[in-house]
Chain A
């Protein structure tokens, strides 16, 4: 479960990271948007400030430029009219201009005199503001400049009796030649113009702007009813939560710049404010929070909610699927463990098959090739071979059953073959010993059909023992046929069973094709067996091929028969070909004798040799005599009385000679060392023994003895003289 837990944790961490990223993005977007709003508001505030200041500048400049002309014109009061008219004419920003003279400046004109020019649509009208009812000397725009002696922007006011509109006035005192204040020169600016300018600010569709005078009066705001009627403080007082608005009001009146969040009519709004320096006014832009954040404010939380929900659903799905997968995985792991163990077992089993032949002599070439095709991962078929002391030991076997149990018995059988053959050369004894071991331990009624061969590499003589196995096919130049085998019982059936041994001799190029019943019993779709007939035919067709090619051809033949059907049994093939160049021109026969009474078999043996060598009767008889003398010598004297005796006789017919070998494992004895009998001795001194060996020497052309590998080996050669075969 560790894996599943880990996977779930991994995915949850990944999803949480995703969620956190979304949140971070959400908040950073909000921040960016707020910054964007701030930037836009501040830009707008600054632009508006510049525009207003520009207008105020123009007005101030116009006023200041006319101070001197006014002073010049003081001497001719009526010319002041045209002056005011020209100021209005020349300055589009100026809506009206007055030159208000101090009391009783022109006695002829009365106490108050103030020429005033103002726009009335496209026209410019003039008017004397010196009516007592208007009483300009009490107006702020007149009093302040006189008091301060400098330019002054008045508080916005609705001018009744003058401009008849909402305006603000810039005024400067004008002094006469004596340096006394003679008049106040003014220029009016209509607040309609600011209302248009400020009111048209559209940072955001729902945003609005306000302009506040130095006393807090609302000069421009979206509610016309409040304009010039109320101050910021009064508006704040009307609100439920007035603190924030009042704070903003104070800050604005103090000429500060900044921004603040307020709750206004239940909605969050951002207020950005900045002073209009020139007039000591302050301007504010109010943007509802929802405008700033737009959709993300509205959708953002929903998105997060949906994501959390999705995450939960995903976790549940993931947990379920991981759990299922884990169960599947457990089963798969178990299966793969068995698979891998079987694969290892297969490797071990395949490694038991010998790789290449290690012959201990270069002169002898054994052409061998084998193949095991298990029906399952491991099988009960085996073949093996090795070379010891100039002998090739080989075997093929088929354990009853298939799969792992058969494979185990196969391993045991192979080990037995190796261990018993390590110190025994007689196939009969090897097979008997193996049978004892297998029968002893056989509690599962498994048995092994087995064929064992021991090939003398020096001359091609094969001794073999068949334990219930299929008869191998003999590979011979003159034709391939089944090797003659005695049907002994398979190994492991009954202990104490006698096994019979057989022998034959291979000429150069001859050999055996061994196989298991997986070959003959290979079935096609219709359950038709490959069979002995077809097999023999295939072997005949491939008989001339080297061992490797032959096995390959046989495999192709059986595959062609089964046509892709799944093999039901293990299939093993082994081809052995004896290649002895030194024997290539030799024909040879062997015979083994164990008792004196078997000596007459030599006659048949010699008959065969003579027929092959086309020897005449006399020579054949002589050679028979020589062999008999050599053999009887061994059987009578080489072994202790009660011992198992054995003497091997071999004849090799060559073009120019016939070689005979008589070998035995008896006590070391060199017959050639016996002195020749005295043939000229008197009858009574004539020896009874010694004649035999003497005859051998007389009959054969060469006689030599050697002791080799625990054996007495007597080699004899008879030269063949064509034309005169008589001695």
Chain B
């Protein structure tokens, strides 16, 4: 299952997104692809959503793939040690 994240995932956006990730969590056992090629910004609240999904997948024996990370966001992932938690394509 693929989810596309578009625009800025800042704190208020992350609050909205949190309400909408249930379908993803329902498929935690399979492979979830998070397409970030159109995501321009992410805050720690956004990272928390990634972590939530990652934990659910791990628990359900699923798999999370992140693709299309911009350099800038990759840098954020790196700073927070998230690069090691995800499979980045």
B72–A618 CB distance below 8 A: yes
B71–A618 CB distance below 8 A: yes
Q: Which of A306-314, A517-525, A592-600, A660-668 contacts B (4 or more CB under 8 A)?
A: A592-600
Q: Which of A629, A679, A691 has most B Cβ within 10 Å? A: A691
A628–B79 CB distance below 8 A: no
Question: Is B11 on the interface with A (CB-CB < 8 A)?
Answer: yes
A692–B44 CB distance below 8 A: yes
Question: Is B61 on the interface with A (CB-CB < 8 A)?
Answer: no
Give the distance in Å from the alpha carbon of A636 to the alpha carbon of B85 in the complex. 27
Question: Is A688 on the interface with B (CB-CB < 8 A)?
Answer: yes
Chain B residues closer than 8 Å to A686, beta-carbon distance:
51, 55, 85
Chain B residues closer than 8 Å to A698, beta-carbon distance:
79
Chain A residues closer than 8 Å to B12, beta-carbon distance:
596-597, 599-600
B48–A688 CB distance below 8 A: yes
Question: Is B47 on the interface with A (CB-CB < 8 A)?
Answer: yes
B11's contact among A599, A622, A699, by CB below 8 Å, is which?
A599
Give the distance in Å from the alpha carbon of A698 to the alpha carbon of B82 in the complex. 14
B76–A683 CB distance below 8 A: no
| Interface residues on chain A, number (Cβ under 8 Å) | 29
Question: Is A621 on the interface with B (CB-CB < 8 A)?
Answer: yes
Chain B residues closer than 8 Å to A230, beta-carbon distance:
none
Chain B residues closer than 8 Å to A628, beta-carbon distance:
10-11, 43
Chain A residues closer than 8 Å to B58, beta-carbon distance:
683-684
B11–A596 CB distance below 8 A: yes
Q: Give residues of chain B (62-87) contacting chain A, Cβ–Cβ below 8 Å.
A: 71-72, 75-76, 79-81, 85
Q: Give residues of chain B (1-60) contacting chain A, Cβ–Cβ below 8 Å.
A: 8, 10-12, 15, 40-45, 47-48, 51-52, 54-55, 58
Given A600-B10, A688-B48, CB of A683 within 8 Å of CB of B55:
yes
Chain A residues closer than 8 Å to B79, beta-carbon distance:
695, 698-699
Chain A residues closer than 8 Å to B8, beta-carbon distance:
600, 603
A695's contact among B44, B51, B55, by CB below 8 Å, is which?
B44
Give the distance in Å from the alpha carbon of A679 to the alpha carbon of B75 in the complex. 15
B72–A679 CB distance below 8 A: no
B54–A691 CB distance below 8 A: no
Question: Is A229 on the interface with B (CB-CB < 8 A)?
Answer: no
B43–A632 CB distance below 8 A: yes
Given A617-B72, A632-B45, CB of A596 within 8 Å of CB of B80:
no
A688–B51 CB distance below 8 A: yes
A692–B75 CB distance below 8 A: no
Question: Is A133 on the interface with B (CB-CB < 8 A)?
Answer: no
Chain B proximity mask over A604-648: 1 for CB below 8 Å, otherwise 0: 000000000000011001101100110010001000000000000
Give the distance in Å from the alpha carbon of A597 to the alpha carbon of B10 in the complex. 10
Name B's interface SS.
helix
Chain B residues closer than 8 Å to A622, beta-carbon distance:
72, 75-76
Question: Is A423 on the interface with B (CB-CB < 8 A)?
Answer: no
Given A599-B12, A691-B48, CB of A625 within 8 Å of CB of B76:
yes
Interface size class of B (residues with CB under 8 A): 20 to 34
Name A's interface SS.
helix
**Residue of chain A at shortest CB distance from B55:** A683
Question: Is A694 on the interface with B (CB-CB < 8 A)?
Answer: yes
**Residue of chain A at shortest CB distance from B42:** A625
Question: Is A108 on the interface with B (CB-CB < 8 A)?
Answer: no
Chain A residues closer than 8 Å to B10, beta-carbon distance:
599-600, 602-603, 628
Chain B residues closer than 8 Å to A699, beta-carbon distance:
79
Chain B residues closer than 8 Å to A679, beta-carbon distance:
80-81
Chain A residues closer than 8 Å to B71, beta-carbon distance:
618
Question: Is A680 on the interface with B (CB-CB < 8 A)?
Answer: yes
Q: Which of A597, A625, A686, A699 has most B Cβ within 10 Å? A: A625
A694–B80 CB distance below 8 A: yes
Give the distance in Å from the alpha carbon of A727 to the alpha carbon of B80 in the complex. 15
**Residue of chain B at shortest CB distance from A727:** B75
Chain B residues closer than 8 Å to A691, beta-carbon distance:
44, 47-48, 80
Chain B residues closer than 8 Å to A596, beta-carbon distance:
11-12, 15
Q: What distance in Å separates the Cβ of B28 from its nearest Cβ neighbour in chain A?
A: 13
Give the distance in Å from the alpha carbon of A680 to the alpha carbon of B80 in the complex. 10
Give the distance in Å from the alpha carbon of A508 to the alpha carbon of B49 in the complex. 44
Give the distance in Å from the alpha carbon of A698 to the alpha carbon of B75 in the complex. 11
Q: Give residues of chain A (678-716) contacting chain B, Cβ–Cβ below 8 Å.
A: 679-680, 683-684, 686, 688, 691-692, 694-695, 698-699
B44's contact among A600, A603, A629, A727, by CB below 8 Å, is which?
A629
Q: What distance in Å separates the Cβ of A372 from its nearest Cβ neighbour in chain B?
A: 49
**Residue of chain A at shortest CB distance from B48:** A688
**Residue of chain A at shortest CB distance from B76:** A625
Q: What distance in Å separates the Cβ of B74 from its nearest Cβ neighbour in chain A?
A: 10
Give the distance in Å from the alpha carbon of A636 to the alpha carbon of B47 in the complex. 17
Q: What distance in Å separates the Cβ of A641 from its nearest Cβ neighbour in chain B?
A: 15
Chain B residues closer than 8 Å to A688, beta-carbon distance:
48, 51-52
Chain B residues closer than 8 Å to A599, beta-carbon distance:
10-12
Smallest CB-CB A-B distances: 9 pairs: A679-B81, A692-B44, A691-B44, A632-B11, A618-B72, A698-B79, A621-B72, A628-B43, A597-B12
Q: Which B residues form the contact surface with A (CB < 8 A)?
A: 8, 10-12, 15, 40-45, 47-48, 51-52, 54-55, 58, 71-72, 75-76, 79-81, 85
Beyond A684-B55, A686-B55, 15 additional pairs, beta carbon < 8 A:
A600-B10, A602-B10, A603-B8, A603-B10, A618-B71, A618-B75, A621-B40, A624-B41, A625-B43, A629-B44, A686-B85, A692-B45, A695-B44, A698-B79, A727-B75
Offer 23 A-B interface pairs, CB within 8 angstroms, sorted by A: A596-B11, A599-B10, A600-B8, A622-B75, A622-B76, A624-B41, A625-B41, A625-B42, A625-B43, A628-B43, A629-B43, A632-B11, A632-B45, A683-B54, A683-B55, A684-B58, A688-B51, A691-B47, A692-B45, A694-B80, A695-B44, A695-B76, A695-B79
